Amino acid sequence: MWINMGPQHPMTHGLWNLRVRIDGELILDVDPEMGYLHRGIEKISEDRHYNEVITLMDRCCYVAGMAWEHLYILGAEQALAIRPPERAEYLRVLCDEFQRLGSHLMWYAAFVQDLGLMSPFLYGMRDRDLVLDLFQSYTGARMTYEYMRVGGVRNDLPPGFTERARKVLDWLVDRFREYDALCLGSTIFRKRCDDLGVLRANEAVALGVTGPMLRAAGMKRDLRKDRPYAAYDRLEFDVAVADAADVTARYLVRMEEMRQSVRILHQVLDWLDRNPGPVLADRLPRWLGAPYAPVGDEGYLLKRHYPKGLGFSSVEEPHGEAQAYVVNEGGQHPYRVKFRSPVFANISAAKSYLIGYRVADIPPIMGSVDVCVGEVDR
Amino acid sequence: MSQVTLYSVAYTLSDDLLRAVGSILPAGPRGLVTSGTAVTALALLVFGAILLAASMLNTILLIWWERKLLGRFMDRRGAMHVGYAGLLQNFADGLKLFRKNTFQPREADSLGFYFGPTAYLATSLMIFGILPISSGWNAGSLPLTLLLALTIFSFAPLFIFVSAWSSNNKYSLMGGMRSAAQMIAYEVPLLLAVVAVVIVAGSFDLTTIVYEQQNYWFWGPLVVALIVFVAGMLAEMERIPFDLPEAEAELVEGWNTEYGGMLFAFFMLADYLRALVGSILVVLLFLGGWTLPTWVPGSLTSFPLAGIVWFMVKTYLVFGLFVWVRAALPRVRTDQLLRVGWNRMIPLALLSVFLAAVLVEVRCLPVFGCVPSAGV
């Protein structure tokens, strides 16, 4: 019997369809269907100024907007041959890591709710709100930030931000202990999640699975270490790895990643306190400084005067490795933008970690994948 | 009549009412109206109406209690705005459901689709007629009250399965299958745990069982039976961690996926009625019903309707325990649930029966005191 779990289904956490063939409670076959949330972001980007594309990046993944902004910005800067000031790089790491905290807290909430744990769901959402409050205090928005700019970031932190941020981090570290007590301390949780949704490293690599799912299979791969971008090469942190390759291992990896994020953030906050400076490169092309010029008004430069270039960037997004390819053929708009979504690959591998388990296992397994449909369909 | 009972209240009420009606009628009809049969019939109706109103009111209060408690467990406040502390929120919700259109899927089987929720609610309500709330506050003491209550209680999987199957929805069907398997599996340890109580109390009559607990409440010596009974009740009530028949994560809403409006309200109401019955049974069987231990000062037990008050307090506290469990535990999987049911609960229940037999033989325990001589 085929059943459609989606496009409107509590398990999906978004808009996609998991077709499942079952025999009683046993899963015989699965067939993930994506594409319900396609908005043509890549195509629209071709028609926007470089800085206007940032708006679209926030909509790519609505729980990890900063990571996607960062991804695009890195590609665009490479294509335009612009370097940001050092303080902007640290600010971007700050954004990235707070975003990782926010995204993982959101994941925690959704994941435990799939298991029927009701209180931790609200604890996760409550604590994520603190992170969103911090975002709001320096970007003005809670989800769609539009904070990064080609050549830096939009504005510096408000006074008193670092103290407030440290307080939030201390609170979060305490809460992580509580989270572990509620999940790992529960026999039912261990019985539900151990040896569930196993995806071994060799298969994961073959299927292009990245991020916490790959690290939970024992593969020590993290772009922040392997191909450092922004200020990550100047910061100290460990890559979270687990061996069991099951749902519990993914839980452990994400919790450890949150702890590492806190560690990184403390270093970043200290650095930001010590090193004031500009947050936007001062020698930007004039046409970048006026990003909202009406479409068609190419300004004062002829097309051939613009620099040309290619940009490729890859970022360790909360869900996995995201990649961007930005082609600059001259002009105020990117000629072509292409993204690689980690969640797309992670969902597409569903056949190898769902078949053979039971219908009741689908929500925790898919929850441990951490689906964000916005970036899958773009 | 020395003791006020629910039936005596209903009888007096209908007697006065019919006398008043009869006084304005000519002699012929007057005799008919004020005859003993008519008064008894009306008294029974009034009795039923009072029970219905009380059980419904308590169910709605129970939902409020759960929402407030759950809210606090989750670091929020629960219902706040309709009425004092959100007391009227559930009435507002009920009104909303009442105003909604009742619909059925085109391919659904009408008979089963409507019969299921109605019968589910009706059987859940039936139990209240025979549960003693305080001494004398029930329909009458049958010698086998407990057995009858549990029998009616175990009708539920049948009606759930009927409504699930007739909904003609795959999720509903899977939920119905799970529900049937789960309820049947946990019926056995539940009844065995009850047998332990019955062995010690020596009666199937709930009133007698309560009075047998005057020396000590049964939860102490029969703690194994209590654990089995509470776990079994959680499964019968389909609450977390045993709520897999309506596990919303994978089965949308389980067996009531296709129900909306008032039919959904029937299910909801019946679920909480069953939760109320479950809490009441725990209080009656293990926590001394409406009685308080003898060391409690008399002023706490002698005010009017003290029995009912203490009974309600205990019931709501027991339900609070169920809510706590719901707030703290994740959901188990079907096969794990059944394995625990057959492999762990039944041996535990048998152990509790054995312990009860030993208790009856030994009669006196060091801490708790002696079993009353009325036992077996």
Query: Interhelix angle for B156-166 vs B170-201, to 10°?
Result: 180
B72 within domain boundaries: no
Q: Are residues B36 and B130 in the same domain?
A: no
CA distance B111 to B97: 21
Contacts of B335 in chain A (CB under 8 A): 25, 358
**Tokens linked to B236:** 């019968």
Q: How confident is the model at residue A293 (pLDDT cuts 50, 70, 90)?
A: very low
- Residue B163 in contact with residue B113, Cβ under 8 Å? yes
Residues B161 and B34 in one domain: no
pLDDT digit string (tens) for B49-66?
Answer: 888 888 888 888 899 999
Asked if B241 lies within 8 A of A362 by C-beta distance, the reply is no
Could you say which residues from 351 to 370 on chain A have a Cβ atom under 8 Å away from some Cβ of chain B? 358-363
Which position has the higher pLDDT, A236 or B359?
A: A236
Contact A115 B331 (CB under 8 A): yes
Whether A296 is covered by a domain: the verdict is: yes
Closest Cβ–Cβ partner in A9, A112, A119 for B252: A9
Residues B25 and B113 in one domain: no
Q: How far B170 CA sits from the closest chain A CA (Å)?
A: 7
| For chain B, percent of residues with pLDDT exceeding 90 | 3
Q: Report yes or no on A358 lying in a domain.
A: yes
Q: Please, is A191 exposed, middle or buried when counting C-beta atoms within 10 Å of its C-beta (0-12, 13-18, 19+)?
A: middle
* C-alpha distance from residue A298 to each of A284, A286, A288, B67, B234 (Å): 16, 12, 11, 60, 70
Is residue A179 domain-resident?
yes
Answer yes or no: is B263 within a domain: yes
Q: What is the mean pLDDT of chain A?
A: 86
Q: Are B145 and B206 in contact (CB under 8 A)?
A: yes
Chain A hits for B241, CB-CB cut-off 8 Å, are 116, 188
| Beta-sheet strand order (sheet of A26-33) | A2-5, A17-23, A26-33
The number of distinct structural domains making up chain A is 1
Q: B216 and B316 share a domain?
A: yes
Instruction: Give me the mean pLDDT over the B342-353 stretch.
Output: 89
Q: Is residue A265 part of a domain?
A: yes
Phi first, then psi: give them for residue B365, nearest 5 degrees.
-115, 150
Residue of B nearest to A24 (CA): B174
**Contact at CB, B330 and A1, closer than 8 angstroms:** no
**pLDDT band at residue A252 under the 50/70/90 scheme:** very high
Residue A38 in contact with partner chain B when CB distance is under 8 A: no
CATH code at A89? 1.10.645.10
CB B257 within 8 A of CB B171: yes
In the predicted model, what is the mean pLDDT of residues A223-238?
Answer: 89
Report phi then psi at A185, rounded to 5: -75, -5
Tokens of B338: 């059944």
Is A119–B74 a contact, with Cβ atoms under 8 angstroms apart? yes
Question: Is B219 within a domain?
Answer: yes
| Residue A378, domain member (yes or no) | no
- Tell me the pLDDT band of B376, cut-offs 50, 70 and 90: very low
Decide if B83 is inside a domain: no
* Closest-CA residue of chain B to A123: B74
Return the DSSP state at B267.
H
Confidence (pLDDT) at A291:
46
Q: Specify whether B229 is located in the same domain as B309.
A: yes
Instruction: Find, in chain A, the residue whose alpha carbon is nearest to that of B240.
Output: A116
Mean pLDDT of B204-219: 78
User: What pLDDT shows up at residue A168?
Assistant: 92
Query: Which pLDDT tens digit goes with each residue over B276-307?
Result: 988 988 988 888 878 777 777 777 777 777 77
Residue A115: list chain B partners with CB under 8 A.
249, 330-331
Structurally, chain B folds into a number of domains equal to 2
Pairwise CB contact (< 8 Å): A118 & B327: yes
Instruction: Say if residue A29's pLDDT is above 60.
Output: yes
For the purposes of burial, counting CB atoms within 10 Å of the CB of B233, is it exposed (0-12), middle (13-18) or buried (19 or more)?
Answer: buried
Residue range of the domain that includes A68: 50-371
What average pLDDT does chain B have?
82
Q: Could you tell me which chain B residue has the CA closest to the CA of A189?
A: B330
pLDDT: which is higher, B188 or B304? B188
Residue for token pair 């890591």: A97
Which residues of chain A have a CB within 8 Å of the CB of B243? 116
Across the range A7-29, mean pLDDT stands at 86
Query: Does one domain contain both B152 and B38?
Result: no
From B70, B170, B250, residue closest to A1, measured CB to CB: B170
Which chain B residues have a beta carbon less than 8 Å from that of A113?
Answer: 249
Contact B332 A11 (CB under 8 A): no
Instruction: Tell me the pLDDT tens digit for each residue of B6-16.
Output: 777 888 888 88
* pLDDT for residue B42 is more than 80: yes
Question: Rounded CA gap, B237 and A352, in Å?
Answer: 36
| Residue A21 placed within a domain | no
Which candidate from A123, A182, A363 shows the least CB-CB separation from B249? Answer: A363
Determine, for residues B75 and A122 on separate chains, whether the beta-carbon distance falls below 8 Å.
yes
**CB of A26 within 8 A of CB of A46?**
no
Residue B334 has its nearest CB partner, among A5, A191, A360, at A360
Which residue's entry shows tokens 């596990």? B247
CA distance B339 to chain A (A): 12
Determine the Cα–Cα distance for residues B325 and B241; give it in Å rounded to an integer: 8
Quick one: residue B363, left, alpha or beta (phi over 0 = left, psi -120 to 50 = alpha)? left
Q: Is the same domain home to B112 and B12?
A: no
Do both B42 and B104 map to the same domain? Answer: no
Give the model's confidence band at A133: pLDDT under 50 very low, under 70 low, under 90 confident, else very high.
very high
Question: Does residue B65 lie in a domain region?
Answer: no
Is the pLDDT at A262 greater than 90? The verdict is yes
Tell me which residues of chain B have a C-beta less than 8 Å from any C-beta of chain A.
Answer: 70, 73-76, 170-171, 174, 240-241, 243-244, 247-252, 326-336
A to B CB pairs, distance under 8 Å:
81
The more confidently predicted of residues B95 and A10 is B95
Identify whether B173 is part of a domain: yes
Task: Indicate the pLDDT class of residue A137, thresholds 50, 70 and 90.
Answer: very high
Q: Inform me whether the C-beta atom of residue A301 falls under 8 Å from chain B C-beta atoms.
A: no
Secondary structure letter of residue B100 according to DSSP: S
B51 CB burial (10 A radius; 0-12, 13-18, 19+): buried
A41 inside domain: no
By the 10 Å C-beta count (0-12 exposed, 13-18 middle, 19+ buried), A16 is classed as buried
pLDDT score of B189 more than 60: yes
| Separation in Å, CA of B220 to nearest CA in chain A | 26
Above 60 in pLDDT, residue A267? Answer: yes
Do A318 and A370 contact (CB within 8 A), yes or no?
Answer: yes
Contacts of A360 in chain B (CB under 8 A): 244, 247, 250, 331, 333-334
- Give the chain B residue whose CA is nearest to the CA of A181: B328
Interhelix angle for B89-99 vs B36-73, to 10°? Answer: 110
More reliable by pLDDT, B115 or B373: B115
Q: Which residues in chain A have Cβ-Cβ distances shorter than 8 Å to B240?
A: 116, 118
Residue B338 has pLDDT above 60, yes or no: yes
- pLDDT tens, residue by residue, A320-371: 899 999 888 777 788 889 999 899 999 988 888 988 888 888 888 988 888 8
pLDDT of residue B211: 77
Residue A28 lies in a domain: no
Compute the average pLDDT of residues B363-372. Answer: 63
Give the SS3 label for residue B88.
coil
Using pLDDT thresholds of 50, 70 and 90, give the confidence band for residue A292.
Answer: very low
Q: Which of B333, B334, B339 to mutate to test the interface with A (most CBs of A within 10 A)?
A: B333
Least confident of A140-154, A257-271, B198-212, B313-327: B198-212
Same domain, B26 and B151: no
Q: Evaluate whether residue B66 is within a structural domain.
A: no
**Interchain pair B332, A192: CB under 8 A:** yes
> Tokens representing B57?
């009111």
Average pLDDT of B255-264? 84
Q: Is residue B74 part of a domain?
A: no
SS (H, E, C) chain A: CEEEECCCCCCCCCCCEEEEEEECCEEEEEEEECCCCCCCHHHHHCCCCCCCHHHHHHHHCCCCHHHHHHHHHHHHHHHHCCCCCHHHHHHHHHHHHHHHHHHHHHHHHHHHHHCCCCHHHHHHHHHHHHHHHHHHHHHCCCCCCCCEECCEECCCCCCCHHHHHHHHHHHHHHHHHHHHHHHCCCHHHHHHHCCCCCCCHHHHHHCCCCCHHHHCCCCCCCHHHHCCCCCHHHCCCCCCCCCCCCHHHHHHHHHHHHHHHHHHHHHHHHHHHHCCCCCECCCCCHHHHCCCCCCCCCCCCCHHHCCCEEEEEEEEECCEEEEEEEEECCCCCCCEEEEECHHHHHHHCHHHHHCCCEHHHHHHHHHHHCCCHHHHHC
Q: Is A116 in contact with B252 (Cβ distance < 8 A)?
A: no
* Distance from C-alpha of A214 to C-alpha of A346, rounded to nearest angstrom: 10
How far is it, in rounded angstroms, from Cα A126 to Cα A178? 13
pLDDT for the residue numbered B368: 62
As a whole number, mean pLDDT of residues A99-107 equals 92
CA atoms within 13 A on the CB side of A277: 16
Taking contacts as CB-CB distances below 8 angstroms, the residues of chain B near A116 are 240-241, 243, 247, 249, 329-331
Among A341, A339, A344, A315, CA closest to A327? A339
Give the structural domain span for B150.
100-370
Interface probe with B: pick from A1, A18, A114, most Cβ of B within 10 Å: A114
